[in-house]
C-alpha cells in the first residue's frame, strides 16, 4: 500500500486541477475499494501519461449472456470496453453499460443511472481470496500430513500454527460451546480465524488489498455464522427465543410481555451476526483509512518536522494494525463461538431467565 | 447505510462464498480433521504416559517399601537370632558350670567320705595293732616282771605311786 501511495502521491497535481489533498483523498477512496485489475503502482511519465504497473484480471459480466473479457480493455477506467456490440465503462470501481462514447447519465443525487450488468469479475479481492485459500490449504494440509509422517509431532511451517489451533480449541471453542458439542464447530472456527487473520495481514503488506474491509466479504462470513448458528440450534435455543420466560411466568403474564420480548429476541438473532459483519468491516476500513491518511500527510507537510513525524505515526499505527489484524480475527471467531454456544445449549433453563 | 449497500458487490459476495465454502470443505477434510485427531491422539498418549509413569512410580515406591520392610524384618530376625544364641550360650555355660560344680561337690563329698572311711579304717587298724602290740608288750613285760617276786612287788608299788600322782 505504501508503494502504491508513493507512486501516486509523487505525481504532480494533474491536469484536472485537483490539489494534492483531494487527490490523496480520492486515492484512499480508490484503495479501499475493490478493483478490476491488479495494479501494483502507477506513475505519470514525462509525457503526462499514466503508466500502470500490474496485470489485468478477467471481467465476467452477466448481461443477457455471459461476457468474459480482460480488464485491460477498460484501460483503468479511461476507455470504453466494447464486447459483442455492448459498451461498458468502469466508473468508480463499478461497471456500467453505456453507449459507444461511454456517456454516463446521473440522477439528481449525482449517482450514475446507467444499467449495471451483474458483475462476477475476478477482481483484486477475489484473487487475494484465492491466494489465501491456496496458502491456507497447503499450509494446513501440510501440517496435517506431518503428523502422520512424524509420529504425532508436527514439522515444517505449519508447526508455528499448531499452538494457535490448540488455543482456538481450548480457549475459544471449549469454554463457549461446551465439551460435548465443540467438535463439530471446530473446522468452521479454525477456517474463519485463519482466513480473516491472513487476509487482514495481507491487507497490511505493501501490495495488500483491503479484502476484509469490504462489506461483501464480511457479509458473506457473518452470513455463514448466522446459518451455522440457526441451522444447528437446539430445541432449547429456539425455546429461549420464543418462550424466554418459560415457567417463571403464568400464561396471562406472558400475554402482555411476549409481544415485546419475542420480537426483541428475534431481532437479536439477526443483530448478532450483523454486529459481526459491521465490526470487522469498520475496523479494517478504519485502519486502512488512518494508515493511508498518515502516509498522505507525509506528502502534504513537505517539511523537515511534519513528514518524519507523520512517518513515525504511520509506523506506530502500522504496528497497532498488525495487532488489530489478529484481534479482529480473534473477536470474529470468539463471537461466532459464543453464538454457536447459544445455539448448542442443552440444559433445563426454564428457571434461569 | 446507503453507502454500505452501494458498496456491496454481489460478484465479490458470490466468489467469497464459493471460495470460502470450498476452502472450508477442503480444510475440514484434509487439514482440520487429521490435525485435530492427531493432536487429540497425542494428548491422550501424553495423558496415558503420565498415568503410567505415576503408576510405575507408585509401584516403585511399593517395591522400595516392601524391600525396606523385608530388610527390617531380616535385621530384626538376625538380632533375635543373635540374642537367642547368646542366651543359649550363657545358659549352656551356666548349666555346665552348675553341673560341674555339682559333680565336683559330689566327687569331693565322695572323696571326703572315702578319705574318712579310710581314715577310720586306718585308725581302727592302728588301734587294733596298738592294742595287740600293747598286749604283746604287756605280756612280755609282765612275763618278765613276774618272773621274780621283787619285781612284782616293785611294779605294784610303781603302779600305786602313779595313781597317787594322778
CA distance A148 to A156: 13
Four-residue CA torsion sign, A274, A276, A282, A288: negative
CA distance B105 to B118: 19
Q: How far does the CA of residue B40 sit from the closest CA of chain A (Å)?
A: 10
Q: Do A166 and B36 touch (CB under 8 A)?
A: no
Q: What are the Cα distances from residue A29, in Å, to A127, A204, B7?
A: 20, 16, 12
Q: Do A126 and B19 touch (CB under 8 A)?
A: yes
Q: Do B20 and A195 touch (CB under 8 A)?
A: yes
Phi, psi of A117, deg, nearest 5:
-70, 155
pLDDT digits (tens, 9 = 90+) for B87-128: 999 999 999 999 999 998 898 899 989 888 888 888 888 888
Say how many residues make up chain A: 353
Q: H helices within A205-250, ranges in order?
A: 215-231, 235-242
The answer to whether residues A288 and A325 touch, using CB atoms and an 8 Å cutoff, is no
The answer to whether residues A143 and B31 touch, using CB atoms and an 8 Å cutoff, is yes
Mention every residue, 6+ apart, whose C-beta is less than 8 A from residue B161.
none
SS3 A83: strand
CA distance B21 to B19: 5
Cell triple for residue B131? 592294742
CA distance A291 to A345: 42
Mention every residue, 6+ apart, whose C-beta is less than 8 A from residue A333.
A168, A172, A189, A192, A193, A196
Interface of B with A in 20-39 (CB under 8 A): 20, 22-24, 26-28, 30-36, 38-39
- Residue owning grid cell 470501481: A93
How confident is the model at residue A8, as a pLDDT?
Answer: 42
Please report how many Cα atoms fall inside a 13 Å half-sphere around the Cα of residue B23, on the Cβ side: 28
pLDDT digits (tens, 9 = 90+) for A231-258: 988 888 888 888 777 777 777 777 888 8
Best mutation target among B35, B41, B42 (most A Cβ atoms within 10 Å) is: B35
Percent pLDDT > 70 in chain A is 92
CA distance A215 to A241: 28
The answer to whether residues A311 and A302 touch, using CB atoms and an 8 Å cutoff, is no
Cell triple for residue A276? 459481526
Please report how many Cα atoms fall inside a 13 Å half-sphere around the Cα of residue A35, on the Cβ side: 22
Confidence class for position A180, pLDDT limits 50, 70, 90:
confident
Q: Do A133 and B19 touch (CB under 8 A)?
A: yes
CA distance A102 to B165: 202
Q: Is the pLDDT of residue B134 over 90?
A: no
- Residue owning grid cell 566327687: B107
- Residue owning grid cell 446507503: B2
Give the sheet arrangement for strand A118-119, strand by strand. A66-70, A58-62, A118-119
| Nearest by Cα to A6 from A319, A298, A341 | A298
- Count other Cβ atoms within 10 Å, centred on residue A196: 26
> Of the ranges A10-24, A91-105, A290-304, A310-324, which is most confident?
A310-324
SS3 B1: coil
Q: What are the Cα distances from residue A189, in Å, to A67, A171, A176, A185, A225?
A: 37, 12, 12, 6, 9
Confidence class for position A31, pLDDT limits 50, 70, 90:
confident
DSSP A351: T
Contacts of B12 in chain A (CB under 8 A): 34, 123, 125-126, 214, 216-217
- Pairing state between β A86-91 and A50-56: unpaired
How confident is the model at residue B61, as a pLDDT?
Answer: 93
The answer to whether residues A55 and A37 touch, using CB atoms and an 8 Å cutoff, is yes
Best mutation target among B7, B11, B17 (most A Cβ atoms within 10 Å) is: B11
Closest partner CB to A137 (pick from B23, B33, B38): B23
> Of the ranges A149-153, A212-216, A222-226, which is most confident?
A222-226
pLDDT digits (tens, 9 = 90+) for B24-63: 999 998 888 888 888 888 889 999 999 999 999 999 999 9
Cell triple for residue B84? 537367642
Closest partner CB to B15 (pick from A129, A141, A165): A129
How confident is the model at residue A135, as a pLDDT?
Answer: 92
Q: Is the pLDDT of residue A18 over 70?
A: no
How confident is the model at residue A294, as a pLDDT?
Answer: 86
Nearest residue of B to residue A191 by CA position?
B24
CA distance A236 to A82: 58
Contacts of B4 in chain A (CB under 8 A): 215, 281
Phi, psi of A91, deg, nearest 5:
-135, 115
Q: Do B7 and A169 touch (CB under 8 A)?
A: no
The answer to whether residues A143 and A190 touch, using CB atoms and an 8 Å cutoff, is no
Helices (H) and strands (E) in chain B, counts: 4, 0
Amino acid at each position: 500500500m505504501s508503494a502504491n501511495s508513493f507512486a501516486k502521491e509523487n505525481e504532480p497535481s494533474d491536469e484536472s486541477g485537483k490539489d494534492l489533498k483531494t487527490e490523496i483523498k480520492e486515492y484512499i477512496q480508490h484503495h479501499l475499494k475493490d478493483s478490476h485489475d491488479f495494479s501494483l503502482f502507477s506513475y505519470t511519465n514525462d509525457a503526462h501519461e499514466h503508466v500502470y504497473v500490474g496485470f489485468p484480471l478477467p471481467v465476467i459480466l452477466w448481461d443477457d449472456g455471459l461476457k468474459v473479457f480482460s480488464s485491460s480493455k477498460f484501460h483503468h477506467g479511461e476507455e470504453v470496453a466494447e464486447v459483442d456490440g455492448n459498451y461498458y465503462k468502469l466508473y468508480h470501481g463499478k461497471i456500467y453499460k453505456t453507449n459507444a462514447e461511454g456517456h454516463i447519465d446521473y440522477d439528481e443525487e449525482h449517482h450514475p443511472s446507467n444499467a449495471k450488468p451483474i458483475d462476477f469479475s475476478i477482481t483484486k479481492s477475489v484473487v487475494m481470496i484465492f491466494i489465501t485459500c491456496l496458502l491456507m490449504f497447503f499450509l494446513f494440509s501440510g501440517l496435517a500430513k506431518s503428523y502422520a509422517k512424524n509420529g504425532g509431532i508436527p514439522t515444517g511451517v505449519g508447526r508455528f500454527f499448531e499452538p494457535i489451533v490448540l488455543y482456538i480449541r481450548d480457549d475459544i471453542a471449549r469454554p463457549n460451546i461446551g465439551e460435548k458439542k465443540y467438535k463439530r464447530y471446530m473446522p468452521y472456527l479454525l477456517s474463519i480465524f485463519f482466513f480473516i487473520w491472513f487476509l487482514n495481514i495481507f491487507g497490511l503488506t505493501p501490495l495488500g488489498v483491503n479484502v476484509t474491509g469490504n462489506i461483501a466479504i464480511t457479509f458473506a462470513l457473518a452470513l455463514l455464522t448466522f446459518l451455522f448458528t440457526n441451522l444447528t440450534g437446539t430445541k432449547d435455543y429456539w425455546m429461549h427465543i420464543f418462550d424466554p420466560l418459560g415457567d417463571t411466568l403464568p400464561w396471562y403474564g406472558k400475554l402482555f410481555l411476549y409481544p415485546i420480548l419475542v420480537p426483541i429476541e428475534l431481532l437479536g438473532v439477526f443483530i448478532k451476526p450483523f454486529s459481526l459483519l459491521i465490526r470487522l468491516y469498520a475496523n479494517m476500513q478504519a485502519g486502512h483509512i488512518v494508515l493511508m491518511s498518515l502516509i498522505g500527510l507525509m506528502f502534504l507537510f513537505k517539511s523537515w518536522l511534519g513528514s518524519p513525524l507523520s512517518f513515525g505515526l504511520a509506523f506506530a499505527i502500522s504496528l497497532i494494525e498488525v495487532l488489530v489484524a489478529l484481534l479482529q480475527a480473534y473477536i470474529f471467531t470468539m463471537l461466532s463461538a459464543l453464538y454457536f454456544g447459544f445455539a448448542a445449549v442443552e440444559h433445563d433453563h426454564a428457571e434461569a431467565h | 447505510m446507503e453507502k454500505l449497500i452501494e458498496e456491496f458487490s454481489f460478484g465479490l459476495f458470490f466468489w467469497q462464498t464459493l471460495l470460502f465454502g470450498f476452502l472450508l470443505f477442503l480444510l475440514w477434510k484434509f487439514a482440520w480433521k487429521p490435525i485435530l485427531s492427531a493432536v487429540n491422539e497425542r494428548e491422550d498418549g501424553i495423558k496415558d504416559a503420565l498415568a503410567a509413569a505415576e503408576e510405575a512410580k507408585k509401584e516403585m515406591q511399593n517395591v522400595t517399601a516392601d524391600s525396606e520392610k523385608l530388610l527390617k524384618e531380616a535385621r530384626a530376625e538376625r538380632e533375635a537370632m543373635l540374642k537367642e544364641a547368646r542366651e543359649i550360650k550363657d545358659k549352656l555355660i551356666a548349666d555346665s558350670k552348675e553341673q560341674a560344680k555339682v559333680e565336683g561337690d559330689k566327687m569331693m563329698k565322695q572323696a571326703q567320705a572315702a578319705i574318712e572311711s579310710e581314715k577310720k579304717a586306718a585308725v581302727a587298724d592302728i588301734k587294733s595293732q596298738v592294742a595287740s602290740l600293747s598286749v604283746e608288750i604287756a605280756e612280755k613285760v609282765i612275763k618278765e616282771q613276774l618272773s621274780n617276786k621283787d619285781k612284782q612287788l616293785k611294779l605294784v608299788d610303781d603302779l600305786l605311786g602313779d595313781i597317787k600322782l594322778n
